[in-house]
Amino acid sequence: MQVIRLAALSDNYIFLLYDSTHNRAAVVDPAEAQPVLQQLKELNAELVAIFNTHHHNDHVGANQRLQQEYPGLIVYGGAEDKGRIPGQQVFLIEGDRVTFADRTGEVFFVPGHTRAHIAYYFPPTSPEEPGELFCGDTLFAGGCGRLFEGTPAQMVNSLSKLRNLPDHTRVWCAHEYTLGNLRFALTVDGDNLDLQQRYQEVKAFRDRSEPTVPSLLGVEKLTNPFLRWDQPALQAASHSQDGVETFAKIRGMKDKF
């Protein structure tokens, strides 16, 4: 399974999963149709599935157009998003499995950004390969999604599930927010040497207009403040030793940043 990153809208990413053996493709969170259709044309591949993480239009905006072009494709999404994802046919809950190409993905229920958000994790098929995490707007490189429909406690629980995955997991998040996220992170975790180094690396990437997605989960654990609510530096910045309260205060600070 090859993952092809497609830029969309102003700062979105769409992920095309390509099965070269059978010349088939699936797409994660198609914000708009044209980049997907263009890539499918270049590959001469058939689109067989849409994997949606949540109902926001910048993740499902192309569902209906892609269904028109490929009437046999199957649209997956969270069970709690019933009625909110265009064309949804499969309603997934925590622990469900999805299959594509030679890979089986596990579904995580990760409410917080929305009440129905899910993520898809494809474990590695060999020790040399990374796992693949498609986390929508729950976890970003250097950040996390705003809490539109969920609570801080829900988001901490959701992020805990993702934080428990292996370090060698590629994080395919849906927006190019990394540099801004790390600028904020330095305001609450400024003595973190790993974070300082990452910021300089990401700044160099963005100065060259290069993407910063995917990131590695191991790097997120060291530098992303929204995975570090139990670390002394973040607790000091939030003036709290309670994990959920620490997260909530840091998230509130980010909202105003």
Q: What is the pLDDT of residues 181-206, one digit of tens each?
A: 999 999 999 999 999 999 999 999 99
Cα separation of 235 and 188, whole Å? 9
**59 in active site:** yes
Pick the catalytic residue: 59, 81, 117, 189? 59
Q: How many residues comprise the chain?
A: 257
For 36-65, letters b (16+ CB in 10 Å) and e give bbebbeebebebbbbbbbbbbebbbbbbeb
Residue 175 assigned to a binding site: yes
Tokens 């060698």 map to which residue?
168
Pick the catalytic residue: 19, 29, 55, 56? 56
Residue 81 assigned to a binding site: no
Residue 137 assigned to a binding site: yes
3-class secondary-structure state, position 198: helix
Q: What is the pLDDT of residues 197-251, one digit of tens each?
A: 999 999 999 999 999 999 999 999 999 999 999 999 999 999 999 999 999 999 9
Contact 33, 65 (CB under 8 A): yes
**58 in active site:** yes
3-class secondary-structure state, position 16: strand
Kindly give the parts of the chain with pLDDT less than 50. Answer: none
Pick the catalytic residue: 19, 81, 96, 137? 137
CA distances from 145 to 69, 82, 112, 152, 166 (A): 31, 21, 8, 11, 21
Our measurement of the distance from residue 63's CA atom to the centroid of its chain's CA atoms, rounded to an integer in Å, reads 18
Question: How do the domains of the chain map onto residue ranges?
Answer: 2-255
Residue 239 assigned to a binding site: no
Architecture of domain 2-255: 4-Layer Sandwich (3.60)
**168 in active site:** no
pLDDT score for 43: 97
Residue 56 assigned to a binding site: yes
DSSP 73: -
Residue 54 assigned to a binding site: yes
Pick the catalytic residue: 55, 81, 175, 189? 175
Cα separation of 37 and 245, whole Å? 44
**102 in active site:** no
pLDDT score for 133: 98
pTM here is 0.97
pLDDT score for 45: 97
Pick the catalytic residue: 58, 81, 96, 189? 58
DSSP E strand stretches across 123-198: 131-136, 139-140, 143-144, 169-173
